[in-house]
Amino acid sequence: MKAFITFVYVVVLVVVSEYFVAADTVHLIDGSETKGIVVENYHNRIVLSTFEGEKEIEKTSIKDILYDRREQNLLKLGDYHQEKGNFLQAYSYYKKAYEINPDYKEVRDKFIYARSIFLKNPEKQFKSDMARKQALFKETGKVYNPVIKEKNDIPETVLKNKIGIVLYEDDYMPKIASVVPLSSGSQSGIKTGDIIFSIWGKMTGYLDLDIVVDMIINNPSPEIALTIKRRIQISRLKGLARGSDEPGISIGIIEEGLAVKAVRPGSDSAKNGLLEGDIITNINGEPTRYMPLNTAAFKIQENFVSDKLQLDILRSVYLWRKEN
């Protein structure tokens, strides 16, 4: 039987060659600079991939980052204006970045988020979230009297009531402690033990938990786009529906990394919860960021046959916040 795992080897060559000819430049406050590729961008630090390996650099020591790719520089400008409260300017930069590269997930998430705020009414663009909400409430005949809360005043029960999830911090990441049955969180497929990796493209690592809660509860849009991180153990199922000798998945490299391109219905991978579109970040604890496809194929097959296949995946999910 022909294995269902398929690969696109030419993509690996393109990625590797691009690494050597393209680089981001990090200008430090002390006047020095270092080159590499920014592979993770948190609110207080970046992870830079260099020829010597990955380096964590605190943002307090960074003066500026010049990205090799134009869409990343536009994304940076959009983030700057959003942090300053200039939402219309932020939307403009996100839109330009999206037009250049609509397959770039961080760009896509932030553009869709901004568009959901400013373009819900096709006749006009609102210059602030307050104006948008006032107009929406006026149309329904209600009076909008916002109550301003400090982050620390938002109780855990508010998040549980509106979304149906309870969070705690684990190794600087927000993790799901429990999920309320039939809630928005439950219906989206979120499970206990999942990590919230990003919210509308903004990475949540090293953020205070109250800030993460605030990003969900006080998000201008009731629709919340999350990226969750989950560990999936793929076992060869026994019994009447006997497992096969291959996991039944097709993988390839996309903008975000090693992706599950297809999952065969009824396969062991499908029955253990793997979905098309999942991004595989680790295979049995080994990062896939620099792993060639043929190596990934071998490791997936080898560990599956020995009944020890464990995948860490990133998955996009969408929640709808319950409004009072």
pLDDT reported for residue 22: 62
Residue 317 has pLDDT above 90, yes or no: yes
Domain 231-317 CATH assignment equals 2.30.42.10: yes
Asked if residues 173 and 12 have their Cβ atoms less than 8 Å apart, the reply is: no
Give the per-residue SS3 of the chain. CCCCCCCCHHHHHHHHHHHHHCCEEEEECCCCEEEEEEEEECCCEEEEEECCEEEEEEHHHEEEEECCCHHHHHHHHHHHHHHCCCHHHHHHHHHHHHHHCCCCHHHHHHHHHHHHHHCCCCCCCCCCHHHHHHHHHHHCCCCCCCCCCCHHHCCHHHHHHHCCEEEEEECCEEEEEEECCCCHHHHCCCCCCCEEEEECCEECCCCCHHHHHHHHHCCCCCEEEEEEEEEEEECCCCCCCCCCCCCCEEEEEECCEEEEEEECCCCHHHHCCCCCCCEEEEECCEECCCCCHHHHHHHHHHHHHCCCEEEEEEEEEEEECCCC
Give the pLDDT band (50/70/90) at residue 128. Answer: very low
Give whole-number Cα distances, 245 to 2, 231, 286, 323, in Å. Answer: 11, 21, 22, 48
pLDDT in tens, 207-226: 999 899 988 988 877 889 99
Global pTM? Answer: 0.79
Residue 112 has pLDDT above 90, yes or no: no
pLDDT reported for residue 152: 40
pLDDT in tens, 135-158: 545 545 544 444 444 444 444 788
The half-sphere exposure of 53 on its side-chain side, counting CA atoms within 13 A, is 2
Domain assignments of the chain as residue spans, ordered by start: 23-68, 231-317
Domain 23-68 CATH assignment equals 2.40.110.10: no
Mean pLDDT, residues 126-130: 44
pLDDT in tens, 185-205: 999 999 999 999 999 999 999
Asked if residues 81 and 90 have their Cβ atoms less than 8 Å apart, the reply is: yes
- Highest mean pLDDT: which range of 5-19, 84-98, 175-189, 240-254: 175-189
Mean pLDDT, residues 58-66: 96
CA distance 245 to 241: 13
pLDDT reported for residue 86: 83
pLDDT in tens, 67-85: 999 999 999 999 998 888 7
Mean pLDDT of the residues in the chain: 83
Residues of the chain above pLDDT 70, percent: 79
Residue 264 has pLDDT above 60, yes or no: yes
Q: What six digits make up the tokens of 303?
A: 């560990």
